[in-house]
Structure formats: C-alpha cells, structure tokens
Chain A
Amino acid sequence: MTKAPSNGTDTTGDERRSTSHDPSTAGIENRIETEGDPGSGGDLEYEVVTTPVLVIGAGAAGARVAIELAESGVEPLVIGKRDHGDAHTTWAAGGVNAALGSLDPEDDWTIHAADTFNEGHHLNDPDAVELTTREMPDRIRELEAWGMPFDRTADGDVNQRYFGAQSYRRTCFVGDRTGEAMLETLIERAQALDVPYRENVMITRLLSDGERVDGAVGFDMETGEGLLFRTNHVVLAAGGFSALYHRHSSRDDENNGDGQALALEAGARLMDLEFVQFHPTGMVGDRYGEEWDGRLVTEAVRGEGGRLYNAAGERFMERYSPDQMELDARDVVARAIAREVREGRGTEDGGVSLDISHRDDQYVRDRLPSMVERFESLGVDITAEPMVVGPTAHYTMGGVDIDFRTGETGVGGLYAVGETVAGVHGANRLGGNSLAETVAIGKLVGDHVATVLTDADEDPAVTDSQRALAEREFEALRDLAASDGTVTPTELLEDLGDLLWDHAGILRDDAGLREGLAKLDALRERTADLRVEGDRTSKSFEYAVDLSASLTVAEAMLRAARERTESRGAHYRTDYPETADDWRVNLVLTAEPAGLSFGRRGVGDPSPAVRAALEADHQLDYHHLE
C-alpha cells in the first residue's frame, strides 16, 4: 500500500501551471461565493480546478492511464473516492494473465486470446481481446521493471499458475495479493513521476451537451465542499457495478455503477449489461458472519488444487465437468454450486465445501497467504479444514462502449477504461483478465489522450454556462442532503440488492425480470421519501448519491437481461436455456429523452492468427494437475 504524505502536499510544484491541484493554496483564489439564488439560501461555495486531463478513478486502470500521460509529459489530475492506494484493485487476488510461457513454452498470446473468446462466448470485441492479450507480456515486463514483486520459478522467471478455463499456466501472481501488489507498484511509479492526485472526491455529473464533455462536478467527501473540474479530457476509470447485488464480492460502497451512469447521462453508449459474473466461491455469511457474506475466496485456491464437495462429501464437479472439474469456467462452476444448494445437497449454512487441506501446509501458506490469514482471524485453519463457499456477484462484463485503440466513447473528450467499459470479456470473463485489461488498455488510452492534447487544453477557461451547470448540480446536492423523509438510502440500496439477486441473478426468466422491473419502479417511487442522515460528508449522503446511479444501471441491466432471449456465458435464461447463433450480437443502449433505447450490433471476427488458435482447440486438462 502506498500513500502520499497528505492531500495536496504530494502534488507537483510546477508553478507554470495555474491549475489548482493543491486545494490548500490555488483553490482559494478560485473560490467563489454565489450571491444566493432566490429561495436557495446561498451556501454555494465551491472550488474550481482546471487540468488538462481528469482521470476519475485511482485504481489500476486510472493509475496506468496517468502514468502513460505523465511519461508523455502531460500532467493529469487523478481523483479517487477513497484514500490514495485504497482502490478496489487491491481486492483482486489471484493473478494477472500474460502468455509469458514461463512454465508452458507452448503458450502464446493467440492462445490466450482464444481462451478469452471461448470464455466470453464470442461476444468479445476482437480489438479489445487482441490488444490486451498481445500487449500483456510487455506490460508484465514493465510492471517488473517498476519493481512488482512477482512470485518466481526456480529459474528466476515470473512464475505462473493455473486459473479457470485457461489452456496453460498463464496467470502471474504475487501470492494471493496480486492486485494489491500491482496497485502499489503503479502508485509507486506514479509518485516517482509526481502525478498529482486528489483523494476522497466523488463525481456526481459530467459537464456535457451530449456531444462533448468539458468538465466534471462533484464534492469533497471530507469537507462536503462542491468541486468543479474544468477540463477538455475526462477519463472514466471508475469500476463496475457488481456491488448492486445483495451478495457481492466488492465493498458495499464501491462498484455501484457510478461510472456507467455518468457516461450514460453524458451521452455515451453502454453495452453488454446483461452479463454479470457470479464468482463460484464467495464466503457464506451464515457461516462466517454477515460482514463476510460474498467476500471472495480467490480462484487461486482451486488453481492450486482446491476441491469442491457437497454436504454428502461428493466431489460434484465430476458430474458437471469431468474434464475441467473445479477449473471449468466461472459460470459453469457457479451454476453447479447453485444447483447443488438448490437441490438440497448444500451444507447447513447454504453453501458447499472448498477444501485445500490435502496440499502440504507450507505450500498453502506460501501460495495463499491472505486466505490463510483471513480465515485464521475467523478461527478457521484452511490447511486443515474446508471453507464454506457459494456464488457471489463479482464482476460486470458490461459497461461503456469504447473504441479500444483510443478509449474514445463517441462523446468528445470522454474516454473510459477498465471495468467501467465493456468488450474485453464478452459474455463472461476469464479469471486473471481484469487486471490484464487495466494495464494493457490503460497504457493505450493514456498514450492516445496524450497525442490529442493541444496547448489550449492546458488551462481551459471556465465559462459562465459551465458555472451555471455546476451550480445547478451543487444545488441539487444540497437539496439531496436536506432530504428529510422516512426511508434511508441504505434501506433502498439493500432492497435493490435483494431485487437484483432474486430477479437478475444466476438464473433468470422473463416473468422474473418483468417482476424485477415492476419492483424497481416501486423502489424508485420510494426515493421521493428519502431521508439523509448527516451532511455532505456523511456516509448516508454518499449512499444517497450512489442510489441514483445504481437505479439507472439496475434498470438498464434488468431490461438488457430481458431483451436477450438466449443463454450465453454468465447470462442464463431458464426459459431460453440454449445459446442462439443469431444472438451473437451486443446489446447497445443509450439514454434518450423517452428512456433507455436498445440496439443490436454484430460482433467482428478475430484475426487469422487467433482464428487458427481457436481452431486448434487448446484446453486445460484438469487431470494434469493431479
């Protein structure tokens, strides 16, 4: 974990720039107080910050974009909702894929691409997949040059482990804290380059006319003060929306769809929202306490040989996937577990057992230190006894529709990257590919933005109309903070979580989705009676802000799931259990004045090299592991 001394003091001292990265100094002269609109009661103090590029999100994707910009001589401003270094990337545990061939020299990037298409059921954007898989070996070497402490083979190469549905050992790792180590490395690099950042900032709206974005508005979560960021280039790297579900592997206050909602409102397209990855092995709350419900047990446990058993002691994956066993695709294993539990073969806590105790104790401690430590703190010794696990909402394959060579969204000046976007993973994500996407595409986007910047972007002027838009948003936020109804944002978010879990979960059908949409309408009506407890620095207010984004994305997700009348990857319709060839299209949606509008778009074909790898039909043979 890497943190800077404090807000503002770690920003660069480049006096030539008139931007106010440092809130303690430059912000003051820009601070204005409006005269107070009639009836609004004043109190609209806010800070204006100008920057050539605003990167929203300080996880791996945002950090990698910022590093690339800084290496190209551009000084972006990175903002994050939490303390610096505390982004959700740190929860990525098991590893990052790159066809280095350290242990299996037969592997190459085309096979990595083929595995990615197969897992994604051929809905992936070919550009996205090929750029990611082809670039990854270099991105690993680069992380290595920046000091990332990868596990090593006996020969000193970067070590690689098995991960689900991958033909070869391809997943590079740092124990089971790969994301944490990767983000630490990226932040160290960003600090060596003096990349300015600002923590505890929430963005609530992008300044957009639907064609072009020219800034972002939000507030400082520690002071409650309004913030207007004036910039000609906004990069959204704000994560996904799996935390909308009742049981999820994210923090409750992250991955709640704010990035997608911001983009949609600004005029961008969203895509593939019906594809939500349920990770097979989340901790089961009834066994470990509600606080732990849904938290991830890394796939690396299975990659290192962990076995799944039902309550009868049967290794049930033999029935579902005799060749790939526990390491079949995540959707297959998740549905298998859900079915075992539903049919009464689960443990008394409503899960199944995941057991790694047959491996040598020291091996487990070396390879899975965080898991050992976490379960130890709960009084469970995983080197000796099994864990109780069940599926948990983990990752959203859908998101903003971008051009992967540039990160462009189709709205001028707005780019997106990381889990915020759709395309690399198609209908289901290969484990170890999310961290890969952040750095592979992050570099390309940073590189592209650096090339389109002009001198005029350096310190853009703030116009009256931008101020007016911002002030309208600050007023809306102030009104939101003053909500004094009877229902709290937390209650509504919990109800939303239950709704999505019940109606847009692992198994879906038309009737259930329709009912979900009806419930969503009812839930939306209850927001009129919202009660926010506390001021703009309170958790209650933060959740109230989240709520609006979450409802937008939830509706899009339910409607997309209803629209796709087939089963493919993570989207499983019990009323349409087969995969339909004519559904090999992406569902693309935009926000129109009349509501969400859906369109279908055909998927491109992979390059000849990748097609050859697909035809060679490489596959993991689980029994090689044993």
Chain B
Amino acid sequence: MSTQQAEPESQEAPEDPAMKGAESPAADEQTGGGMVDDHAEKRAELEGETVHIKVFRYDPEVEGKQEPRFDDFHVPFEKGMTVLDAVMYARDEYDSSLTFRHSCRQAVCGSDAFFVNGKQRLGCKTQISDLEQPVRIEPLPHQEVVKDLVVDMDHFYDQMHTVEPYFQDEDTPATEDLEEQRQTPENREKIKMSSRCIWCGACMSSCNIAAGDNEYLGPAAINKAYKFAMDDREDEQIKEHRLRILEQEHGVWRCQTQFSCTEVCPKDIPLTEHIQELKREAVKKNLKFW
C-alpha cells in the first residue's frame, strides 16, 4: 500500500481560494454527476483494487499549501466504501494533515457535504463505486474555504437563524394544561419532507442566486421556514410573521426555479417546490412583491 502521492497539480487549481470549487474545471466536465451505471458490476470489479481520489488542498497558514492544489491518493477499495471512508483512509494512512468535517457517518449530522465530481454530495452517503475515477473531491463551492475541504458555514447558519427556526408558542403550558394538539395526517404529510433537513449546506452551495446575492436566505432557510409556516399547529398570526420574513427582498422571490438545490439535496427534500408554495402563500396573504 504505497501512498503514490503525485506531484501537486497546481495547474488545475483555481486562483481564488474562496471560490475554488465552483471554478474548478470538474464542475463543467461532470455535471451529470459522473455516476457509473451498473452498480453491482462496478462494485465487483473494484474488489481488491485501489480507488484514485484527487483531493483539494489549501491552508492559508501553512507555507506550501497557500497555493490551492489537488493531491492524489490511491485508496484500497472495500465493499461499501463511501467517499468519506476514502478521505478518512487517506488521512489516517497517508496524510494526517488532510482536514475535513465528519461525524455521524450515516447522513444525519450533515457535516460532510463535499463537491464530488462536480456535484454537491454527502461524503458518507456516496458510494465510491458509483463514481467515475479519478474521484475529484473539493470543498463546497461559494463558501469561503477555511482549510482543505472545510468551508466556513457561519453565513449559512446565520441565514438559517434569520427565519426563527422554532415553534413560537411563547411558553410551554403548565403540565396540567397540556393537551394533545391534533394535526391531520395530510398536514403532517405536507411538512414531513421539510423536516428532514440536516443543515448540510449542499443546496445553498449549488444555488446560483445565493452565489450572486449574499443576503438571499437560500433554499435551506426557506425550507426551514416552510416547515413551521405550513404546520397547522402554529396560529395564523405567527404564520403571517413568518411570511413577512420570507417575502422580503432577499427572500422567496429571489428564487428562479432552477431546481439545482432540489437536485443536490441528500434528503430528497423538494426545496424548489416548497419555495414556490411559499410564494403562493405570500400572494394569498396579499404580501407585496419584489
């Protein structure tokens, strides 16, 4: 098992570290996602083989890494290996300085969204055998890169918090006054998909509008607001308050229905549809257009 770490291919690296993922040539080459058709066949083929991954490297604080580059790693394939497994292997066996976020490894914590073969994907949910090689792994585009695959998520979280993502009943009723609230199965069904968001940021990263308008709330935050605004258990007044936040200049009306967010969402949330529905709600409530 040799590292086979190739020379840095700096000619492939984009100039501006803050925007590197988006401007990488890979983004244009493989918008189809670089999927391999026959999963089982490909998996069988890879048994005993190594997988070639190219991982984006950048560290403003380390001399020699200030210039973005890609490092090549050849990782022994194992059944069930995900993109996250591959970068973890590269880190543990070849280069302990390789930095990325990860935690739960089962698509719940949302910390390992990367730009893989030109598409935003969750590292732990993407089988390496489903991808064209070499597998190119980059940080999420349109976010500032802190180091290697780690991007600054603060702005994303700020936008999420703008929509006041919690039930707005001021106080919990005293225990003796607690009553089960009814909710129709239809209403519960309506909000079900919206509640699956894991805050990974893939959607925001894929959105052209968010890339151009830093104040745009973005698909994740709007979806979060949808979850509450559409829940019949909250009263009308609060719903209107929510819609007011959403119909502001950088809210729902910015969306141009390109569906890129919906395409990359690892939880299959129909984000674009939710945004359109909120536009309709805002119209119904006679809230103003932008």
- A residues with a Cβ closer than 8 A to B are 1-6, 9-10, 71, 82-83, 85-86, 90-91, 100, 138, 140-142, 144-147, 149-158, 174-175, 177, 180-181, 184, 188-189, 191-192, 251, 288-292, 295, 373-374, 377-379, 533-534, 538
Using known A-B contacts A3-B157, A71-B172, A291-B80, determine if residue A158 contacts B180 with beta carbons closer than 8 Å.
yes
Q: Are A152 and B180 in contact (CB under 8 A)?
A: no
Q: Mind listing 27 A-B residue pairs with CB under 8 Å?
A: A1-B110, A3-B157, A4-B161, A5-B161, A6-B157, A9-B154, A85-B199, A90-B104, A91-B108, A100-B180, A138-B175, A141-B181, A142-B178, A145-B181, A146-B166, A147-B167, A156-B183, A174-B195, A177-B108, A188-B165, A188-B167, A189-B166, A191-B165, A288-B79, A377-B127, A378-B80, A534-B96
Q: Find B172's partner among A10, A145, A175, A188 (CB 8 Å cutoff).
A: A145
Q: Are B105 and A152 in contact (CB under 8 A)?
A: no
B250 within 8 A of A: no
B288 within 8 A of A: no
B234 neighbours in A (Cβ, 8 Å):
147
Q: Are B165 and A5 in contact (CB under 8 A)?
A: no
B51 within 8 A of A: no
B131 within 8 A of A: no
Q: Are B78 and A289 in contact (CB under 8 A)?
A: yes
Using known A-B contacts A145-B167, A147-B166, A251-B105, determine if residue A379 contacts B195 with beta carbons closer than 8 Å.
no
A90 to B105: give the CA distance in the assembly, Å. Answer: 12
Write the nearest CB–CB distance from B168 to chain A, whole angstroms. Answer: 8
Among listed B185-193, B208-216, B241-249, interface-contacting one: B185-193
A181 neighbours in B (Cβ, 8 Å):
195
Q: Are B43 and A152 in contact (CB under 8 A)?
A: no
Q: Are A1 and B199 in contact (CB under 8 A)?
A: yes
Using known A-B contacts A83-B103, A142-B178, A291-B85, determine if residue A154 contacts B167 with beta carbons closer than 8 Å.
no
Q: Find B231's partner among A91, A147, A378 (CB 8 Å cutoff).
A: A147
Q: Are B125 and A377 in contact (CB under 8 A)?
A: yes
Write the nearest CB–CB distance from B109 to chain A, whole angstroms. Answer: 4
Write the nearest CB–CB distance from A3 to chain B, whole angstroms. Answer: 5
Q: Are B233 and A147 in contact (CB under 8 A)?
A: yes
Q: Are A86 and B180 in contact (CB under 8 A)?
A: no
A83 neighbours in B (Cβ, 8 Å):
103, 109, 111
- B residues with a Cβ closer than 8 A to A are 39-40, 43, 78-82, 85, 96, 103-111, 125-127, 153-154, 157-158, 160-161, 165-169, 171-173, 175, 178-185, 188, 191-192, 195-199, 227-228, 231, 233-234
Beyond A1-B199, A145-B173, 14 extra complex contacts between A and B, CB < 8 Å: A83-B109, A86-B109, A142-B172, A144-B180, A144-B233, A149-B227, A150-B188, A152-B188, A158-B180, A288-B80, A291-B80, A291-B82, A292-B80, A378-B80
Q: Find A291's partner among B105, B125, B231 (CB 8 Å cutoff).
A: B105
**B96, B153, B183, B191, most chain A CB atoms within 10 A:** B183
Write the nearest CB–CB distance from B103 to chain A, whole angstroms. Answer: 5
A9 to B103: give the CA distance in the assembly, Å. Answer: 22
Write the nearest CB–CB distance from A156 to chain B, whole angstroms. Answer: 4
Q: Are A149 and B191 in contact (CB under 8 A)?
A: yes
Q: Are B178 and A145 in contact (CB under 8 A)?
A: yes
A-B CB proximity, top 10 nearest? A289-B80, A156-B182, A147-B167, A188-B166, A141-B178, A192-B166, A5-B157, A86-B109, A1-B198, A152-B185
B104 neighbours in A (Cβ, 8 Å):
86, 90-91, 251
A292 to B80: give the CA distance in the assembly, Å. Answer: 8
A289 to B109: give the CA distance in the assembly, Å. Answer: 21
Using known A-B contacts A147-B231, A157-B182, A295-B106, determine if residue A191 contacts B173 with beta carbons closer than 8 Å.
no
Q: Are B80 and A191 in contact (CB under 8 A)?
A: no
A98 to B282: give the CA distance in the assembly, Å. Answer: 38
Closest to B197 in A: A1
Using known A-B contacts A138-B175, A377-B127, determine if residue A86 contacts B157 with beta carbons closer than 8 Å.
no
Q: Are A152 and B80 in contact (CB under 8 A)?
A: no
A374 neighbours in B (Cβ, 8 Å):
106-107
A153 neighbours in B (Cβ, 8 Å):
185
B85 neighbours in A (Cβ, 8 Å):
291
A150 neighbours in B (Cβ, 8 Å):
183, 188
B127 neighbours in A (Cβ, 8 Å):
377-379
A154 neighbours in B (Cβ, 8 Å):
185
Q: Are A90 and B109 in contact (CB under 8 A)?
A: yes
Closest to A6 in B: B154
Q: Are B180 and A157 in contact (CB under 8 A)?
A: yes
Q: Are B169 and A2 in contact (CB under 8 A)?
A: no
A147 neighbours in B (Cβ, 8 Å):
166-167, 228, 231, 233-234
B185 neighbours in A (Cβ, 8 Å):
152-154, 156
Q: Are B167 and A379 in contact (CB under 8 A)?
A: no
A85 neighbours in B (Cβ, 8 Å):
109, 199
Q: Are A2 and B199 in contact (CB under 8 A)?
A: yes
Q: Are B181 and A144 in contact (CB under 8 A)?
A: yes
Using known A-B contacts A86-B103, A156-B183, determine if residue A289 contacts B79 with beta carbons closer than 8 Å.
yes
A9 neighbours in B (Cβ, 8 Å):
154
A10 neighbours in B (Cβ, 8 Å):
161
Q: Are B184 and A146 in contact (CB under 8 A)?
A: no
Q: Are A191 and B166 in contact (CB under 8 A)?
A: yes
A157 to B185: give the CA distance in the assembly, Å. Answer: 9
Closest to A81 in B: B103
Closest to B231 in A: A147
Write the nearest CB–CB distance from B288 to chain A, whole angstroms. Answer: 28
Q: Are A90 and B108 in contact (CB under 8 A)?
A: yes
Write the nearest CB–CB distance from B241 to chain A, whole angstroms. Answer: 14
B153 neighbours in A (Cβ, 8 Å):
6
B184 neighbours in A (Cβ, 8 Å):
152, 156
A150 to B197: give the CA distance in the assembly, Å. Answer: 16
Q: Are B167 and A192 in contact (CB under 8 A)?
A: yes
A292 to B79: give the CA distance in the assembly, Å. Answer: 10
Using known A-B contacts A85-B109, A86-B103, A156-B182, determine if residue A533 contacts B157 with beta carbons closer than 8 Å.
no
Q: Are B109 and A1 in contact (CB under 8 A)?
A: yes
Q: Are A149 and B192 in contact (CB under 8 A)?
A: yes
A495 to B43: give the CA distance in the assembly, Å. Answer: 31
A10 to B154: give the CA distance in the assembly, Å. Answer: 11
Using known A-B contacts A154-B185, A158-B180, determine if residue A290 contacts B165 with beta carbons closer than 8 Å.
no
A174 to B105: give the CA distance in the assembly, Å. Answer: 21
A3 neighbours in B (Cβ, 8 Å):
157, 160, 199
A65 to B137: give the CA distance in the assembly, Å. Answer: 41
B233 neighbours in A (Cβ, 8 Å):
144, 147
Closest to B228 in A: A147
Q: Are A289 and B180 in contact (CB under 8 A)?
A: no
B191 neighbours in A (Cβ, 8 Å):
149
Q: Are B78 and A290 in contact (CB under 8 A)?
A: yes
A397 to B125: give the CA distance in the assembly, Å. Answer: 32
Q: Are A373 and B107 in contact (CB under 8 A)?
A: yes
A533 neighbours in B (Cβ, 8 Å):
96
A177 to B195: give the CA distance in the assembly, Å. Answer: 11
Closest to A71 in B: B172
Write the nearest CB–CB distance from B244 to chain A, whole angstroms. Answer: 19
B103 neighbours in A (Cβ, 8 Å):
82-83, 86, 251
Closest to B111 in A: A83
Write the nearest CB–CB distance from A146 to chain B, whole angstroms. Answer: 5
Write the nearest CB–CB distance from A283 to chain B, whole angstroms. Answer: 10
**A1, A150, A533, most chain B CB atoms within 10 A:** A1
A188 neighbours in B (Cβ, 8 Å):
165-167
B179 neighbours in A (Cβ, 8 Å):
141
B111 neighbours in A (Cβ, 8 Å):
83, 86
A288 to B106: give the CA distance in the assembly, Å. Answer: 14
Q: Find B43's partner among A71, A100, A377, A379 (CB 8 Å cutoff).
A: A379
Closest to B109 in A: A86
B183 neighbours in A (Cβ, 8 Å):
150, 152, 156
Closest to A174 in B: B195
Closest to B92 in A: A539
A4 to B195: give the CA distance in the assembly, Å. Answer: 17
A4 to B173: give the CA distance in the assembly, Å. Answer: 26
B172 neighbours in A (Cβ, 8 Å):
71, 142, 145-146
**B96, B106, B197, most chain A CB atoms within 10 A:** B106
